Amino acid sequence: MADTATTAPVAAASAASASSDAPPFQLGKPRFQQTSFYGRFRHFLDIIDPRTLFVTERRLREAVQLLEDYKHGTLRPGVTNEQLWSAQKIKQAILHPDTNEKIFMPFRMSGYIPFGTPIVVGLLLPNQTLASTIFWQWLNQSHNACVNYANRNATKPSPASKFIQGYLGAVISAVSIAVGLNVLVQKANKFTPATRLLIQRFVPFPAVGRLSCRRAPDCSSPCKALCAWQPSAWPCRWPSASSRRCQRLKRPN
């Protein structure tokens, strides 16, 4: 029985016809080699690919079923490695690996660029008022918090109070730094208006960067794909967000 169970995925892999571009499929493993920068780069592009946001419910069910068939060695004839890799990419992009539930679209890793870019533009708007500075910093931290929560490690539930405390701390810190730096720049009489405007453009960076450093020990960064970027060579700097992604790559689904 053990031999049969072990050889089932191997037989399924043999049944999958090889594609000219796609390597042999391995369930739960990265498609691209993680020993080179180019391989990790292509893997990262796969993770943030926004095209997975437009996958239909029917296509998702087909992808999940295809992986189940591969897992149990019941693949239909003619399935290619490319189809298997595509199915795994779709499942990993949409479904939470612990709860197997769909992640809300704006909080998926594939949605981080299309939904996060408008926030970045808002942070960099010139001549911001106090209200607009507070609003964009709050919106940025709220988006980050929602991404972290949606992609949390659900095998180790944390109390809601811890999440709320982290969220409030992030918002208060980011707003305080951004507002404080803006006030200091405005009061700096030695700067010309052009220099003052240029410096104000960079105010969001220390506010956001300081919060990233602050979050590192607590492992609540939206950049959860970084652990998957090179899991074997880098220490996992954000376990609560990133190790789930690493586990997603290492363990069978």
Interval 10-23 mean pLDDT:
53
Alpha-carbon span 158 to 153, nearest angstrom: 9
* Lowest-pLDDT range of 55-64, 91-100, 152-161, 241-250: 241-250
Task: Say which DSSP state 234 is in.
Answer: S
Alpha-carbon span 231 to 30, nearest angstrom: 11
Give residue 246's pLDDT band: very low, low, confident or very high (50, 70, 90): very low
Q: Where are the beta strands (DSSP E) in the chain?
A: none
Residue 192: pLDDT over 50: yes
Q: What is the pLDDT of residues 103-145, one digit of tens each?
A: 999 999 999 899 999 999 998 887 788 899 999 999 999 999 9
Alpha-carbon span 251 to 253, nearest angstrom: 6
Alpha-carbon span 241 to 225, nearest angstrom: 8
Task: Name residue 145's amino acid.
Answer: A
Alpha-carbon span 236 to 56, nearest angstrom: 33
pLDDT of residue 245: 44
Picking from 50, 172, 51, the residue whose alpha carbon sits closest to that of residue 111 is: 50
Structure tokens at 92: 């990993």
The model's pTM is 0.69
Task: Say which DSSP state 109 is in.
Answer: G
Dihedral sign computed on CA atoms, order 20, 22, 23, 25: negative
DSSP3 helix / strand / coil % (the chain, rounded to 5): 65, 0, 30
Residue 86: pLDDT over 90: yes
Please, what is the Cα angle at 249 between 244 and 250, to 5 degrees? 95
Dihedral sign computed on CA atoms, order 173, 179, 182, 186: negative
pLDDT of residue 39: 93
Query: Which residue do the tokens 């391995």 mark?
Result: 26
Residue 42: pLDDT over 90: yes
Residue 149: pLDDT over 80: yes
Alpha-carbon span 44 to 24, nearest angstrom: 19
Alpha-carbon span 15 to 76, nearest angstrom: 8
Picking from 116, 144, 132, 115, the residue whose alpha carbon sits closest to that of residue 203 is: 132
Alpha-carbon span 87 to 245, nearest angstrom: 17
Residue 186: pLDDT over 70: yes
* Lowest-pLDDT range of 11-25, 85-99, 117-131, 206-220: 206-220
